[in-house]
Chains A and B, each alone.
With several copies, the nearest count.
Chain A
């Protein structure tokens, strides 16, 4: 089994348990680099897959919460190198497959080949690159593939049917269904026609579909879970961390 295949498996396992797959997102090293390892472990106890955000100076697709966490993490010296170095000693102690969310430029600066090998070494099974559309992704995909890591594609309610098919078949791990046409952290709640959209995406996707953007409450997870295999919880979790609350407790009540 390739590392990226572990992701879908973890989601499906949750579904088999009668649960919606839960994919918590945290900005790595936020709010405090010193507690990164322990809070990652706590979160990975509850999440089926954990998404680690690599901080970047220009998080153009993100809302205020993730921007704030990203800038703070950079201030605190968090880099891609640092994150991998933190993950090294955790090998074996984290069961949940890890994925990384990073804008393209930090990955470019790191180097694709090194990225893929460090990913394999540290249990990072796939990448989400929000500013990398499919058309520009061949080069990095090839590099990741060589080490068994994958690139997770995103689709949105505005994605036309043809393109949806293309992205679904190109994705690795799961297919990321953006629930709203907006940025992360919107507080406007989930859109009314969500069910139809997620059903459509799920019908097309050979992989489990995880829905993300705007998921904050157990009820959100629930309604998403009726039409998708998993739910990604980002800004809401980062806010929990920001307030110094217990992330595991927050996540548990979402399950």
Chain B
């Protein structure tokens, strides 16, 4: 496993990537990806992989999936021209409105697709992990929609900072399982869900929420999220009169970003920029800037870039946004970074807060804290690129973040008063 590519390998991998040939048979995106799982889970993954191979490309599944996206999720989501923001920034800013999707974020595209798959595979129940709670809510809703019981694993730290989403999951009939182990956030929740899956690999479907983990999840999630970029590409041509010069998306595990970027990979004139959580600073544990500061390693099933110490222990992370607060990242992003096709930058907690407020006041859109990171980076970029066309993946709405925002506002006020 090596993460450095020579020029020939790189250009071949870029071609393969654009051509849709990745991941390969073994679940690899170049050096990244693969399937690092306990032997106990091997049958479950093989079942899943066979299911995906059989159902995902089938007309029947695709039609069922497209129908749910249109009639229940509310796709296509809008493309909004942000006139007042554009004026402030000096660029032309277009927003792909995943916040308008049912349950309020892009997560639902993946959740309903996998819930349909779970039903096809004959699962008796579904488990899922969640960080910000958006994937948990999306999973709860999708499972209700297809008629499967759902249990969501959630770290107790996240349960606290995303309390509104916990209530929503309960309302939607899901069980929320509080995870007290490990870092008590998303990473621990994934571990806990995997442990549960082992107990009944055939009866349980594990509905993973981002483009991470062992093969075939990064592939499956990308396929289900690509609708974002496919729609946005068409809408830019229809409404903006042409493709963007640059596209921004925030990167936690990387699902909304890969969903937006993947259909644009072949448009070599479009600059693609992923934005990670810069947290409170550059120090270890102060951020979740995996691609920006991490190193290659294996975490939760795949070889990718991760945040780890010299002994290979995973680093705890910090971000104001629960959804970006993860020490790993999808392997396809690791490849796209290695290839130089996508660049990855960071935005700090404070920059995200400021960007969130600016968008509220100029466009009347309360975006998710995760998403706000993409705005902060896009604003910076605008300074050096006046007049350019920017596409931003507005991955979710910020209603869930009200308690966090209130806490930070209180802190800021207290500082101001002091």
Contacts and interface: CB of A to CB of B under 8 A. Distances in A.
B35 interface: yes
Interface in B180-204: 181-182, 187, 190-191, 194-195, 198-201
Contacts of B1: 108, 139
Interface residues of A, number: 43
A27 B306 CA distance: 25
Contacts of A108: 1, 297-298, 312
Given A58-B191, A60-B194, A81-B311, A105 B298 contact: yes
Interface string B280-301: 0000000000000000011111
A61 interface: yes
Contacts of B195: 60-61, 63, 182-183
A22 interface: no
Contact of A105 (B38, B198, B200, B312): B312
Contact of B313 (A57, A81, A167): A57
Contact of B312 (A61, A63, A107): A107
Interface in A160-216: 160, 163, 167, 178, 181-183
B302 to A, nearest CB: 10
Interface in A76-116: 79-81, 103-110
A182 B182 contact: no
Nearest to B193: A60
Contacts of B310: 109
A131 interface: yes
A105 B201 contact: no
* Size class of the B contact interface (CB-based, 8 Å): 20 to 34
B198 A61 contact: yes
A64 B195 CA distance: 11
Interface stretch (B39-47, B245-253, B348-356, B392-400): B39-47
B187 A132 contact: no
28 contacts: A57-B314, A58-B187, A59-B191, A60-B38, A61-B40, A64-B181, A80-B311, A81-B311, A103-B298, A104-B36, A105-B298, A105-B312, A105-B313, A106-B311, A107-B312, A109-B308, A110-B312, A133-B36, A133-B37, A133-B42, A135-B26, A136-B35, A154-B38, A159-B43, A181-B40, A181-B199, A182-B198, A183-B199
Interface of A: 56-61, 63-64, 67, 71, 74, 79-81, 103-110, 130-136, 139, 153-156, 158-160, 163, 167, 178, 181-183
